[in-house]
Amino acid sequence: MSGGTPTGSVRRGFAVIAVAAAAAALMTGCGSSTGADPAANESALPFASPPVEGNPAEHSAVTIPEGQIDRAVESLDAIVDDVMAKSGVPGVSVAVVHDGDTVFLKGFGVRELGNPAPVDENTVFQLASLSKPVGATVVSSVVSDTDVTWDDPVTKYLPTFALSDPYVTENVTLADLYSHRSGLPDHAGDLLEDLGFNQTEILTKLRLLPLEGFRSQFLYTNFGLTAAAEAVAASQGTSWARLSAERLYEPLGMTATNSDFIAYETAENKAVTHQWIDGSYQALEVRDPQAQSPAGGVSSTAADMAKWLTLQLDEGEWEGSALVAPEVLQQSREPHILSSEAATAAARPGFYALGIGSGTDDTGRVRLSHSGAFNLGASTTLTLLPAEDLGIVVLTNGAPQGAPEAIAASFLDIVETGEISRDWQPAIKELMDAQFGTNPSRLANEKAPATPSPSPPLAALSGTYSNDYYGPMQVVQRGDSLVMVLGPKSMEFPLTHWSGTTYSYEPRGENAVGLSAVTFAAPVGGESDQVTVEFLNADGLGTFVRE
């Protein structure tokens, strides 16, 4: 009969679904078994002896022999020395927590090249993006004992917050922004920070950016996460720095940890930041990340971060008190979005939770991890291995070259397998160079032409140009040259003629990667009517129109 479904098909379909559901329940440790005793088949089936117990979803087939974690800890001095020698990073501080105890806490190297003052466990480092998991713990604390939830819309607490799509504005939640699934473009707002805009100005300008993939795509944003954190602070009627101190730093005794840049800037025992310039580290600049404090503005020490690791591994409990409800803490650590697709069927994908990465390592164990990096001189990482009640944090005072990740990866290799699987530092450095050191400018791989086409008259190019996102630009003629003036602090960028209507300039700040193009429209009626700054044009917003 047409239009109907054979009864037999329904029954077979139901049987398949039931079997699949039962298997899934067993794999997550929720199923029950009423079958025959496996021991009855010992002669035919190779059951483990003694059998594996506990939740199958927590099981790793790679066992860690007694004493192997201790040997990994004992290897850390040599690991750090090796990575420092290969990377040239000036200073390192490391903490390891295991079974509730801090089993390794030590500094290496110097706070500043040319200065003998040593790094120790109490040296203050900029955490960069380790601020995100630390901040997620602050939010989890608020969620644990107030009416705030991770699923609250941001506009519930920041009514003026808006994005370019009204539906997203109304529905985007704290969790959406903490898991980078809001649809905001990758690193939205960061270039505004480089130009000197403050937090309020940047969060307001986010509404001008195009959105893509709301709740379906991972696009990493510092200022999206910052908006969520500021919403939580607003819900409690306080500042983010004060909320972080009250909810986390003070209860844990993290006395050297702060979410205000001034605390790092004025610290006596401070790791000075070093940039990677022409193949060596040099201490020339310092990053002020105050505008994105919840995402990158925390400063701390290895000793203080050991306390945070302990809180995480003890499921939100500290010295007998529950600072964070275990179920809320777990909500912040379970995967919320696919962060990196598997390149092949055999490859492991990556996932992001709320302010921290969540994935499975080579041995089948869950790893919670995050790295932080400032091109202006900080590189950090942390990893939690909950199944082994183990965590490591590595802080360095050099631009990202893979040093902290190599130290942590080598240590965890020994923890889980007894030996280091590869030379991690050069392998990770290659990835870092691709991410942080590549100049996408069309001028990057070109030589300035020996006989450039002549420029239009400088008077035809100079003047004031407007842009809703970046604000006004002034192109000022000074003698036989041009200067581009941008941002609320009137930052000046000299323009060098390249050819025709194209000039070059050197961006400055955290995201600068070298020479970039500034291209004027050919003058019509005596003046150029617009100019495009290539470095600012990643989201198609880099064109300025003459006023």
CA 404 vs. chain centroid, Å, equals 14
The answer on 290 and 423 residing in a single domain is yes
- HSE at residue 449, side-chain half, CA atoms within 13 A, is 10
Per DSSP, the three-state class of 473 is strand
Q: Give the helix/strand (H/E) hosting 510.
A: none
419 with 336, same domain? Answer: yes
Separation CA 367–CA 369 (nearest Å): 6
Say if 527 falls within a structural domain. yes
CATH of the domain at 402: 3.40.710.10
Same domain as 276, residue 338: yes
Q: Do 468 and 475 touch, CB atoms closer than 8 A?
A: no
pLDDT tens, N- to C-terminus, the chain (547 residues): 444 433 333 333 333 333 344 334 443 444 444 444 545 555 578 877 777 788 888 889 899 999 999 999 999 999 999 999 999 999 999 999 999 999 999 999 999 999 999 999 999 999 999 999 999 999 999 999 999 999 999 999 999 999 999 999 999 999 999 999 999 999 999 999 999 999 999 999 999 999 999 999 999 999 999 999 999 999 999 999 999 999 999 999 999 999 999 999 999 999 999 999 999 999 999 999 999 999 999 999 999 999 999 999 999 999 999 999 999 999 999 999 999 999 999 999 999 999 999 999 999 999 999 999 999 999 999 999 999 999 999 999 999 999 999 999 999 999 999 999 999 999 999 988 888 777 888 898 888 999 999 999 999 999 999 999 999 999 999 999 999 999 999 999 999 999 999 999 999 999 998 999 999 999 988 999 999 999 999 889 999 999 9
Evaluate whether residue 75 is within a structural domain.
Answer: yes
Same domain, 319 and 419: yes
Q: Token pair for residue 151?
A: 């699923």
| 338 three-state secondary structure | strand
Residues 242 and 112 in one domain: yes
* The one-letter amino acid at 68: Q
Nearest residue to 122 (alpha-carbon basis) of 94, 83, 89: 94
Residue 10 lies inside a defined structural domain of this protein: no
Radius of gyration of the chain (CA): 27
Give dist(CA 214, CA 178) in Å, integer.
13
Q: Is residue 441 part of a domain?
A: no
511 and 420 housed in the same domain: no
For residue 486, the enclosing domain spans 458-546
The partner residues of 91 in beta bridges, in order of sequence, read 109
Q: Strand 321-322 vs strand 390-396: parallel, antiparallel, or unpaired?
A: unpaired
Cross-strand partners of 93: 107, 395
Residues 404 and 504 reside in one and the same domain: no
Both structure tokens of 485:
């003036």
CATH number of 523's domain: 2.40.128.600
Which of 389, 451, 290, 379 lies closest to 84 in space, CA to CA?
A: 379
| Dihedral sign of CA atoms 172, 174, 177, 181 in order | negative
Which tokens hold the place of 122?
């109490």
Mark whether 266 and 391 lie in a shared domain. Answer: yes
Distances (CA, A) of 173 to 155, 176, 217, 364: 8, 5, 15, 31
Helices and strands (H, E) in the chain, number of each type: 18, 23
| Same domain assignment for residues 464 and 423 | no
Question: Which residues make Cβ contacts (< 8 Å) with residue 16, sequence separation at least 6?
Answer: none
Query: Both tokens of residue 279?
Result: 């193949």
Select from 436, 468, 498 the last residue of a domain.
436
Q: Which of 391, 406, 436 is the last residue of a domain?
A: 436
**Tally of structural domains, the chain:** 2
Does residue 340 form part of some domain? yes
Residues 284 and 410 in one domain: yes
40 within a domain of the structure (yes/no): no
Whether 357 is in a domain gets the answer yes
Element spanning 503, H or E: strand 502-505
Tell which phi-psi region holds residue 404, choosing left (phi > 0), alpha (psi between -120 and 50) or beta. Answer: alpha
In a domain, 158, yes or no: no
